[in-house]
Amino acid sequence: MAVAGDGHRVPDLYQKPQQTHVHSHSKILVPLTVHLATEHEHQSRTLWRLNRAVDRANRALARHGIEVVVHKVWRMPKGFNSITRRRDRRKLAQYAALDGTVHVFFVDHLELGSIARSDRSVRGMHWRYRGLRRNLRHREYITINSDAPSTTLAHEVGHLFGLDHDRGHRNLMCSCRRGRIQRFTHRQGATMRLEARAFFLRNRRYGGR
């Protein structure tokens, strides 16, 4: 058991050995703390999507010396399955502690963008706090919607580690990516390695504050 951001005690649902990040010349291991916030999807289905997304991400990241590993899986309290407003995103951030892992939230419904847009739904999001609240400073995380394809985790990890969108349909950073083969370029891989190291340095510097 562990204590989540609001004091709730939540169980670790993942039955694999815990792993932590290791930096080496050959590989950067990126531990994921996964938060299951879905309420309209059976837990076994969400875990299946998680494993599929991790496998897909690692097939793309392997050639760049990066691997994501599931460190822990928590079941979130009820009321976090629909993320549609700024305050919802900030509430999630309370669970994304600076603990040396990348926090990933699986939700039922995710919206971003301007109120003027008729369709604000998105399949994934990388969120980083840029305000002045001390308790949220340096917090960032990934959110994945229930209808997201298996490539969404890789795409959002790319954002987390410094990548912008790309226009190439076979590039994982293209919002309209399609086709059986979708990759990161060598330049994107080099950027991710640098930004991954910066991410863990920030965690070590500000964690626990």
- In angstroms and rounded to an integer, the radius of gyration of the C-alpha atoms of the chain is 16
The CATH number of residue 62's host domain is: 3.40.390.10
Read off the pLDDT of residues 23-56 as tens digits, 9 standing for 90 and up: 445 799 999 999 999 999 999 999 999 999 999 9
pLDDT value of residue 118? 53
The span from the first CA to the last CA of the chain, in angstroms, equals 23
3-class secondary-structure state, position 28: strand
Amino acid at 54: V
Whether 5 has a pLDDT exceeding 50, the answer reads: no
**Is the Cα torsion angle 23, 24, 25, 28 positive or negative in sign?**
negative
Question: Do 56 and 93 meet the contact criterion of CB atoms below 8 Å apart?
Answer: no
What would the two tokens of residue 115 be?
């109120």
pLDDT value of residue 8? 43
The pTM assigned to this predicted structure is 0.86
What would the two tokens of residue 19 be?
């792993």
Residue with the bigger pLDDT between 2 and 157: it is: 157
Total structural domains in the chain? 1
Read off the pLDDT of residues 148-191 as tens digits, 9 standing for 90 and up: 999 999 999 999 999 999 998 899 999 876 767 899 999 999 99
pLDDT value of residue 179? 67
Helices (H), 62-149: 86-93
Read off the pLDDT of residues 69-108 as tens digits, 9 standing for 90 and up: 999 999 999 999 999 999 999 999 999 999 999 999 999 9
Question: Do 175 and 158 meet the contact criterion of CB atoms below 8 Å apart?
Answer: no
For residue 65, what are the domain limits?
2-206
pLDDT value of residue 26? 79
